Chain A
Amino acid sequence: MSHDPFDTQAAAYALGALDGEELAQFEAHLGQSCARCEATLRDSRQALAALARETPAAAPPPQVKEALLGRMAATGPAPRRRDDLRAAWLRWTIATVAAMIVGGFLAGMYVAARYEARLGKLARETSALRGEEAGLRERVALYQGVVELLRDPATRVIALRGAGPSPEARGRVIWHETAGGHVFVAKLPPASPGKTYELWTITRGKPSPAGVFQVDGSGQASQKVAPVGGRVDVFAVTLEPAGGVPAPTGPIVLASSKE
């Protein structure tokens, strides 16, 4: 048999692309110590290794080295054995199993601790992202609602001015008589402990509760307001005991002017 097919197979073998019957055939040939194929393989692997340098740089994650040093510390010195490149996977498995038995609890616990830490970190990151996503969804829904309201010519935008303890506070109510609306406030100081802000719709002098809210660290808040089934003369915000009350008791902090 001519050597030519083996030259072709050696190239594919070096690339890891030889498969099927040809792979078995070539390995049998290599088993007969063909110096020519060994030289081809050596030079091909050298050339292919040089390609690794053409890959854009990326820094190896530092925890890999730590894990390896930990594994070494847990499993003792490297065993000496003869190598057969093709049996590498099997050898690795046997070595790992043996190391696990020898290193016993030490190795097991070390690996478990590492993975647990990683899993815990991943779980925390995932739940943080979920929370963030839920927050974003809520905001998008809010903005969509507002945009839809603003498209309707019957929607009004009513200004709220600061009063009493917070003269510089400002607010806007986007209001549609049948659809309800949203209130946005700014520059309102955070409510003191045990207190909350409460929105009121006042019709013909009679206030009705329209929801409680808190402001964020920058003094802002936004809140959906349900329709009241008729016209509203004045919107007002008061400072009330936490949980809100059925009729206003505290000072007015924001109010619209009567129309």
Chain B
Amino acid sequence: MSSAGADLIRNMAAGDRDAFSPFYDRYAPLVYPLILRIVRERADAADVLQEVFWEAWQSASTYDPGRGTPEAWIVTRARTRAIDRVRSIRRRNERFGAPLEEALAAPPGMGGDAAQRAADRSVIRSALDRLADVQREVIELAYYGGLTQTEIAERLQQPLGTVKTRIRSGLERLREITRQQAT
């Protein structure tokens, strides 16, 4: 299946600069809120956003539609870069608890109308909300907090094996929910 996003990436790979602008306009509004949620600081989020799209432009030729949608391609890149950034900030600050608590707390006013967002949420119930609490917890710690499975185990004071199992079952459930929504 060839989507508009995949066509844009193919044109970018051919060196077509005109394809970049619509590609950016299509995906930046999707990945920026996620980057901001992970790195928290707007200045850092803007840097990461630029890095992600620059990288996407540079390596458009490596996109393989068989390995995922353009959305998954760009979101994976964005998450990877945002998590690299928070990990390096954390190493620099050597303070672990506070920023992480913030990262996992409900996001601050990020623009948009609260009532509208609430309405959107009631229509499309959050996929995360449909996970078991223990599954959601480990996935959020990794997805928004950038923790590795070992760090999650330490933080939750759970055996590593338990954390691995929760990650696996949580993702199985998420994949199932995504499949349901697709059909």
| A contact set with B: CB distance below 8 Å | 7-8, 11-12, 14-20, 38, 41-61, 63-65, 67-69, 71-72, 77-83, 88-89, 91-92, 95
Complex CA distance for A100 and B9, rounded to whole angstroms: 24
Residue of A nearest to B172 (CB): A11
Name the B residues within 8 Å of A95 (CB-CB).
58
Q: Does B158 contact A (CB under 8 A)?
A: no
B175 lies within 8 A of A17 (CB):
no
Interface of chain B: mostly helix, strand, loop or mixed = helix
A64 lies within 8 A of B50 (CB):
yes
B31 lies within 8 A of A61 (CB):
no
Which of B12, B31, B124, B174 has the most A CB atoms < 10 Å from its CB? B174
- Binary A-proximity of B140-171 (CB < 8 A = 1, otherwise 0): 00110011111110000000000011011011
Q: Which of A57, A71, A77, A88 is in CB contact (< 8 Å) with B29?
A: A57
Q: Which of B12, B30, B84, B111 is in CB contact (< 8 Å) with A78?
A: B12
Known A47-B174, A68-B20, A78-B57; judge A54-B128 contact (CB<8 A).
yes
Which 4 A-B pairs give the minimum distances between C-beta atoms?
A83-B62, A77-B15, A49-B75, A19-B148
Name the B residues within 8 Å of A63 (CB-CB).
46
Pick 27 A–B contacts, CB within 8 A, sort by A. Answer: A8-B167, A12-B149, A12-B168, A15-B142, A16-B148, A17-B147, A19-B148, A43-B178, A44-B171, A48-B72, A48-B171, A49-B72, A49-B75, A50-B178, A50-B181, A57-B110, A58-B33, A58-B112, A64-B28, A65-B24, A72-B17, A77-B17, A78-B12, A78-B57, A83-B62, A88-B55, A89-B84
Complex CA distance for A55 and B76, rounded to whole angstroms: 15
A49 lies within 8 A of B69 (CB):
yes
Interface of chain A: mostly helix, strand, loop or mixed = helix
A57 lies within 8 A of B61 (CB):
no
Q: Which of B23-48 contact A (CB under 8 A)?
A: 24, 28-34, 36-37, 42, 46
Known A50-B181, A88-B55; judge A8-B168 contact (CB<8 A).
yes
Name the A residues within 8 Å of B33 (CB-CB).
52, 55-58
B167 lies within 8 A of A11 (CB):
yes
Complex CA distance for A41 and B66, rounded to whole angstroms: 12
Known A11-B168, A17-B147; judge A58-B32 contact (CB<8 A).
yes
A64 lies within 8 A of B59 (CB):
no
B117 lies within 8 A of A56 (CB):
yes
A43 lies within 8 A of B76 (CB):
no
| B contact set with A: CB distance below 8 Å | 12-13, 15, 17, 20-21, 24, 28-34, 36-37, 42, 46, 49-51, 53-55, 57-63, 67-69, 71-72, 75-80, 83-84, 107, 110-112, 117, 121, 124, 126-128, 139, 142-143, 146-152, 164-165, 167-168, 170-172, 174-175, 177-179, 181
B58 lies within 8 A of A78 (CB):
yes
Q: Which of B21, B42, B51 is in CB contact (< 8 Å) with A69?
A: B21
Closest Cβ of chain A to B113, distance in Å, is 9
A55 lies within 8 A of B50 (CB):
no
Q: Which of B57, B67, B165, B174 is in CB contact (< 8 Å) with A68?
A: B57
A59 lies within 8 A of B29 (CB):
yes
Name the B residues within 8 Å of A15 (CB-CB).
139, 142-143, 167, 171
Known A15-B143, A59-B29; judge A46-B72 contact (CB<8 A).
yes
Known A54-B127, A61-B42, A65-B24; judge A49-B50 contact (CB<8 A).
no
Name the B residues within 8 Å of A80 (CB-CB).
13, 61
Name the B residues within 8 Å of A56 (CB-CB).
33, 37, 107, 110-112, 117
Name the B residues within 8 Å of A20 (CB-CB).
150
A47 lies within 8 A of B178 (CB):
yes
Residue of A nearest to B66 (CB): A42
B128 lies within 8 A of A51 (CB):
yes
A45 lies within 8 A of B68 (CB):
yes
Complex CA distance for A49 and B124, rounded to whole angstroms: 15
Closest Cβ of chain A to B85, distance in Å, is 12
Complex CA distance for A42 and B13, rounded to whole angstroms: 21
Complex CA distance for A91 and B81, rounded to whole angstroms: 13
